[in-house]
């Protein structure tokens, strides 16, 4: 296995990690990334296979679980109940209960709310001059939708956004002690708020996802309060973070390519956005047994990085993968993961974009980039720090 080095916080890499991915893929299915000290699956076939290989999973083997530092106890009090970080049997139980409430009917019912929120945000766009589309559109829309889905007050959306940003920074290459302290504070405050709101909804159920999660039951089993808190945090953090970045990255591709988005082609456009410049580029797994794959010997407890951003530009699957081409024949991208951990919020994220992007194009057909878009130092996420646009 070839070993390669690349600082994930280096400015050139932050702006475009894809040239490095190309060099990795040219070396084979697995490449050792020195800066992370682990093998990385970089081809589409390797990433797809590992997403579905039950010999690998998200949860660290119990005998290898590290001791939690005291200052991070509030953060891991939530993470330890998150189905994203668990494997069967706990993952199976939690995911089953969540899917009982998070139905396709409930997601479809959000369509009018998404339309109204999209129009309201566009109504507030400045009529003249350049403005940042991230805080004006890309950031608030997913949070508003999640608030309406869960049945929490929309006037809390700014606070939810701040808590979410502080917590997801724990997964970024720039993580340091200050980020850890901020994440722990955010987790504690988030949990305190949700604990009170869950107690309120237990006594006064509403027509919202949280009430349905409280009521969800299978074979006499229900979600505990800690599990409800972790699930709500996961839905907000994962749903918000991914959709914000996908909207920003996608609108950038649309404006650069001059692509028109209509209700008729929205599904195709959204799939190409997800493939071309996805919001999450790396997802890690642990080996649960000794196994040899693609010429590498894994031992129990070894980590492997699944490089979603690299897999989505594999020339063995897509011709001219660097080009943004909504009309291309689509293969299955890896942006929402796969296997048992396939993103439960994927249908909602797709619906938001399929509704919002045609409305944005119809109401602002003359929207154009006013400055070169800048990506933020967020790896292993990939999203913009600003998106300055103006009307022609």
Structural domain that includes position 258 = 3-391
| Average pLDDT of the chain, as a whole number | 95
Are residues 319 and 310 in contact, defined by beta-carbon separation less than 8 angstroms? no
| Percent of the chain's residues with pLDDT above 90 | 90
* pLDDT tens-digit series, residues 92-131: 999 999 998 889 999 999 999 999 999 999 999 998 899 9
pLDDT score, position 237: 85
Closest to 51 in 3D by CA, of 332, 391, 321, 376: 332
Query: In whole angstroms, how far apart are CA 174 and each of 180, 288, 301, 377?
Result: 11, 28, 24, 7
pLDDT confidence band for 158 (50 / 70 / 90): confident
pLDDT score, position 119: 98
Q: Is 291 strand, coil or helix?
A: strand
d(CA 272, CA 329) in angstroms, rounded, equals 10
Closest to 240 in 3D by CA, of 351, 126, 377, 139: 139
* Dihedral of the alpha carbons of 78, 83, 88, 94, in degrees to the nearest 10: 100
Pairing of β 38-41 and β 282-287: unpaired
CATH number (domain holding residue 169): 1.10.630.10
> What average pLDDT does the segment 304-312 reach?
98
pLDDT score, position 221: 87
> What average pLDDT does the segment 53-79 reach?
95
> What average pLDDT does the segment 142-171 reach?
91
* pLDDT tens-digit series, residues 339-382: 999 999 999 999 999 999 999 999 999 999 999 999 999 999 99
pLDDT score, position 356: 98
d(CA 84, CA 285) in angstroms, rounded, equals 11
pLDDT score, position 133: 98
The pTM of this model reads 0.94
Q: Is 36 strand, coil or helix?
A: coil
Residue 239 reports pLDDT greater than 80: no
pLDDT score, position 198: 94
pLDDT score, position 208: 92
DSSP 132-167: EHIIIIITHHHHHHHHHHHT--GGGHHHHHHHHHHH
* pLDDT tens-digit series, residues 221-236: 899 999 999 999 998 8
Domain total of the chain: 1
pLDDT score, position 240: 79
The position carrying tokens 């990255």 is 249
The residues facing 368 across adjacent strands are 390
Residues comprising the chain, all counted: 392
pLDDT confidence band for 241 (50 / 70 / 90): confident
pLDDT confidence band for 314 (50 / 70 / 90): very high
pLDDT confidence band for 218 (50 / 70 / 90): confident
Residue 238 reports pLDDT greater than 90: no
* pLDDT tens-digit series, residues 89-102: 999 999 999 998 88
């Amino acid at each position: 296995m070839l070993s390669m080095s690349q600082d994930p916080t280096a400015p050139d890499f932050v702006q475009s990690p894809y040239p490095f991915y190309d060099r990795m893929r040219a070396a084979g299915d697995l490449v050792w990334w020195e800066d992370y000290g682990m093998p990385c699956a970089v081809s589409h076939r390797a990433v797809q296979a590992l997403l579905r290989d039950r010999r690998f999973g998200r949860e660290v083997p119990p005998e290898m679980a590290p001791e939690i530092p005291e200052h991070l106890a509030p953060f891991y009090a939530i993470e330890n109940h998150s189905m994203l970080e668990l494997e069967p049997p706990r993952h199976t139980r939690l995911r089953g209960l969540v899917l009982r409430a998070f139905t396709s009917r409930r997601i479809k019912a959000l369509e009018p709310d998404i339309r109204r929120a999209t129009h309201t945000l566009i109504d507030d766009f400045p009529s003249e001059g350049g403005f940042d589309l991230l805080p004006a559109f890309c950031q608030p829309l997913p949070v508003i939708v999640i608030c309406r889905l869960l049945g929490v007050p929309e006037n809390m959306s700014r606070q939810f956004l701040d808590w979410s940003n502080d917590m997801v920074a724990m997964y970024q290459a720039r993580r340091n002690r200050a980020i850890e302290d901020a994440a722990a504070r955010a987790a504690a405050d988030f949990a305190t708020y949700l604990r009170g709101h869950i107690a309120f909804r237990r006594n006064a159920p509403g027509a919202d996802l949280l009430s349905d999660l409280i009521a969800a039951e299978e074979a006499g089993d229900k979600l505990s309060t800690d599990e409800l808190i972790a699930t709500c945090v996961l839905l907000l953090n994962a749903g918000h973070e991914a959709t914000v970045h996908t909207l920003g990255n996608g609108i950038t591709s649309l404006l650069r390519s001059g692509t028109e988005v209509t209700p008729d082609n929205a599904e195709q456009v959204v799939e190409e956005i997800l493939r071309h410049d996805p919001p999450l580029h790396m997802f890690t797994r642990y080996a649960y047994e000794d196994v040899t794959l693609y010429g590498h010997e894994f031992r129990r407890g070894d980590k492997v990085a699944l490089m979603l951003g690299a897999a989505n530009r594999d020339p063995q699957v897509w011709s001219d993968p660097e080009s943004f081409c909504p009309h291309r024949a689509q293969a299955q991208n890896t942006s929402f993961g796969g296997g048992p951990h396939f993103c439960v919020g994927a249908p909602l994220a797709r619906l938001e974009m399929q509704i919002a992007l045609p409305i944005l194009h119809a109401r602002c057909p003359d929207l154009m980039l006013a400055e070169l878009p800048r990506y933020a130092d967020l790896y292993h996420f990939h999203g913009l720090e600003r998106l300055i646009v103006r009307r022609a």
